[in-house]
Copies of this chain bind each other. A is one copy, B any other.
């Protein structure tokens, strides 16, 4: 369904927000790359399956898009769903 609520739910978890930080820093990473960089740069000891489930959720919310190439799967951040989210309460007058 990829409704608005999915975006908020995806952003509710700190690990998922850190994943978005990582993809902002270097877009198009594989699952193993993300795991390695989360561990080294952010000090997160999450397992591969945990990160994979987080990526599934981010993809379901439309915040991450994927591209398969052989046995690799690259993950790209998509900030499009983010803009209208908060603007909902910020805009008092007509845009």
Contact = CB atoms under 8 A, between A and B. Distances in A.
Interface of A: 5, 8-9, 11-12, 14, 17, 20-21, 24, 77, 79, 82-83, 85-86, 88-90, 92
Contact of A77 (B82, B85, B89): B89
Interface of A is mostly: helix
A89 B61 CA distance: 15
A29 to B, nearest CB: 15
A79 B83 contact: no
A76 B17 CA distance: 28
Contacts of A90: 79, 82-83
A12 to B, nearest CB: 4
